[in-house]
Amino acid sequence: MDAIRKQASKLREQVARQQQAVLKQWYGGSDNLVADEAELQLHQRLEKLYISTRAGKHYQRDIVRGVEGYIVTGSKQVEIGAKLSEDSRKYGAENTCTSGNTLSRAALNFARARAQMEKEHGNLLKAFGTQVAEPLRAMVVGAPLEDARHLAQRYDRMRQEAEAQAIEVSKRQAKVRETPGNADNAMKFEAAEAKLHDLKTNMGILGKEAAAALAAVEAQQQRLTLQRLIAMVEAERAYHQIVLQILDQLEGEMISERHRIEAAPAPAPSVDESMPPPPSYEEANGVYASQASNGSTDSMGYFLGEVLFPYSAVSEVELNLSVGDYVVVRKVTNNGWAEGECKGKAGWFPFSYIERRERVLASKVAEVF
């Protein structure tokens, strides 16, 4: 359509130039030629303004469509993010993990941060709608642009009518020259000439009005569109800055939780409640040999073990252990107890609390006894 319009514009300009030559030949002066040149310049300016305002309108419409699509997609993202926030909050509030509540705290922190981010995202979408889409949409369908375009179209129709009238004047003049003294032909020529003059006068007035209206619309398009683009960039920039602050805080909280886990000592193995208590010394000294023959003990020979977890004795036959101590292990039962000596004291302790050592410094061996 643009190519056809440009071609039609060129054809009209050629016709206008031909009419200028004809009028110059009719009147033999330069005033009318100057007037036609001014009208041609006005016409060219109107053409440029019409094309410019149409392109501005299309660009505004493209922005509105893009923003509306962004809002639809963003609203779905906000909905999904809000659901994720709620699920994390529910887990953090209801978790009954027996090994600690580190993940619960992290889930609650994540839920809070996610909810804040989605709230800011929703505010961004509202700003896009009220500060960008609505003002531009109002201008696209607004009266100033349509009124200016209607003026330009009226001018174009009047210009075509003036071109046709100029041809009519040329025909009347030819008849007057062919039949000199014919009053009827002379009168018709004068009437056609007067009509052409009125059309050119009205066309000039209407063209100036249309040019002024289109120029005003063009300036408003440029100003408003730039303002809305800046508003969109500023709103999105502010949103990302806030989200970055939220994420920085969340990351710090989660890293702190991770460091707390890494720094915490490993939990001591639990003693199975079904595990029988350690045997008494009478059993150990008097009956132990018969138990060994029945398979209730594991004869491993004497060896050294390093204490990995502290153990507090709960009976007089048990041995207190501290992390890092070394124990001479003399007996190990199949039910999880071991008997040995540490720092001059003998007793029973859970075998899972120590780890066998093949090589030990001499100073450490001395500490055992």
pLDDT tens by residue, the chain, 369 residues: 667 766 766 666 665 565 555 444 443 333 343 347 888 888 889 899 999 999 999 999 999 999 999 999 999 999 999 999 999 999 999 887 766 788 888 999 999 999 999 999 999 999 999 999 999 999 999 888 888 889 989 988 998 998 899 899 998 888 888 888 788 888 988 899 899 999 988 988 998 999 999 999 999 999 999 999 999 999 999 999 999 999 999 999 888 888 877 776 666 666 655 666 776 655 555 434 334 334 344 445 788 899 988 888 888 889 999 888 899 998 888 888 899 999 889 999 999 899 888 765 555 555 555
| Architecture of the domain defined by 301-365 | Roll (2.30)
Cβ burial of 145 (10 Å; 0-12, 13-18, 19+) is: buried
Q: What is the 3-state secondary structure (H, E, C) of 23-62?
A: HHHHHCCCHHHHHHHHHHHHHHHHHHHHHHHHHHHHHHHH
Residues of the chain with CATH 1.20.1270.60: 9-263
Given the candidates 1.20.1270.60, 3.30.360.10, 3.30.70.20, 1.10.287.70, the CATH classification of the domain at 9-263 is 1.20.1270.60
Residues of the chain with CATH 2.30.30.40: 301-365
Tokens of 141: 């369908």
